[in-house]
A and B are shown apart, each in its own frame.
Chain A
């Protein structure tokens, strides 16, 4: 190979399908329930929403460094990446199959590409049920093989799927990625602009952005918004294996950190970094 200036490809400019292709070993991408099957949401048309033929989730089998893998990529441009019955079942069902294989000694490396506002409101409780099944599958599967989540950005990762990210073994983020339970606009709407000005980009990034999340230990790796960097970070996460104790199981550590917060005093991103860095 001749030395050349490597051109960077911004991961966030790729569609969900392109992201899955870019992540897997070259030439190994194989989509399950591809768009030609037209397995779309049966609940949207009667609510005046045009369904998508993949319901906004791409399920891709392939390899990562020659190891069997499955990539579950949410398309943030369809309904804000909202999880409905079909898209949710694609994720939960694939994780359940990965668990089935892992229990028989054939681990499959699961990667979640999370660009989602959480439950798709038009499908409401069907999305809720699917997300509960996704949670159940992650907790069962990560006993066998690390479950890796990527929050690269444009939409971010919110709602029940942010809880899913909290359950993952490793979370990879870019500076453009945002991770939180309630999105800034929902907080502004529900609690008022005085609580959080969702237009204040710097404030939002200092609160739930990738750099802040990695700095306080809510996510594991901060990488450039670049295909090669993210593909590398995902492979590194699998090489390093499962954590000694999963983040969401470290309740004592989290409780101690919360106990160190004075709830009557204001606290912001930079202050929290200093506080929680000292507490380890």
Chain B
């Protein structure tokens, strides 16, 4: 039996379609949200993936390229007409750590996905990320972070960070306990979705939903939230990421990001 990752569970619940892609680790299907056409994308584990280090749901060489191609196809197909929404269902444990991956240019595979999502956003597609599980590091940069809108389920299994806690402890030569203590003071180093929300990047934290065994009502709640965010992104008309710095939370917890931009603007033309 195929392991049901959170990414797969939510992809199937929302897309309501069986993906027909060539790559088993990237799910892609067109569906609808609130009367809008939407393309859903998710990265899931594939125990038989061609590159062994990307069998656990990591965003690797083939996953980066396939996301890039699937998003670009939607941009090309929609042309100057009605641009469908793109929904990135995010449950990614990170990128694979491997010799072969680096040799073959893993950074470029991830750049392919980043490029495609950013290009779609600039072209006017509402791009929405829905974080249902892990959102770690380069994988989240490539699948989610270029979205106009980011939603997350309010669930203890949702984690947003730049490296696994175990690895961070090794690299920074600190104990896991010490990292937990620092996280209480510096929310940017915490793993829980509540701390991530404090940085002002989340457009919506969806509460009261079972993240691992969603029932019909849970799915409808998330679908409703997605529909509202897609509509909001469309009406807002902004195709950049500036709204992330406009929230009250960002003013409080990303003050330095704003201060730097103010000073740069004042000094730019000399």
Contact = CB atoms under 8 A, between A and B. Distances in A.
Interface of A: 30, 32-33, 37, 39, 41-43, 46-47, 59, 61, 85-86, 88-90, 93-94, 96-97, 119, 121-133, 135-136, 139-140, 143, 159-160, 162-167, 179-182, 184, 186-187, 189-191, 195-196, 207-208, 216, 218, 246-249, 251-252, 254-255, 258, 261, 263, 267-269, 272
Contacts of A133: 241, 244
Contacts of A32: 263-264, 267-268
A191 B256 contact: no
Given A182-B95, A254-B109, 14 more contacts: A33-B267, A94-B264, A119-B137, A132-B241, A135-B114, A135-B145, A140-B240, A163-B138, A163-B141, A165-B107, A184-B102, A189-B171, A248-B112, A272-B104
A254 B108 CA distance: 9
The 6 closest A-B pairs by CB, nearest first: A166-B111, A162-B107, A89-B260, A132-B145, A248-B111, A248-B115
Contact of A90 (B106, B116, B264): B264
Interface of B: 50-53, 61-62, 65-66, 68-69, 72, 95, 97-112, 114-116, 118-119, 121-122, 137-138, 140-142, 145-146, 160-163, 167-168, 170-172, 182, 185-190, 195-196, 199, 201, 240-241, 244, 254-257, 259-261, 263-265, 267-268, 270
A162 B106 CA distance: 9
B182 A191 contact: no
Given A136-B146, A181-B95, A258-B62, A208 B102 contact: yes
Contacts of A258: 61-62, 65, 104
A32 B186 CA distance: 28
Nearest to A132: B145
Nearest to B106: A181
A119 B122 contact: no
Contacts of A129: 145, 199, 201, 244, 254, 257
Nearest to A157: B107
A255 B103 contact: no
B261 A89 contact: yes
Contacts of B264: 32-33, 59, 90, 93-94, 97
A123 B170 CA distance: 16
Given A182-B95, A261-B104, A39 B259 contact: yes
- Which of A42, A166, A261: most chain B Cβ within 10 A? A166
B106 A182 contact: yes
A159 B118 contact: no
Contacts of A88: 257
Contacts of B256: 39, 41-42, 85-86, 89
B141 A132 contact: yes
9 contacts: A125-B189, A125-B199, A129-B201, A143-B122, A163-B110, A186-B97, A247-B108, A248-B111, A258-B62
Given A93-B264, A130-B257, A43 B186 contact: yes
B124 to A, nearest CB: 13
A139 B244 contact: no
Nearest to B99: A196
Given A41-B256, A90-B264, A139 B119 contact: yes
B65 A251 contact: yes
Nearest to A135: B114
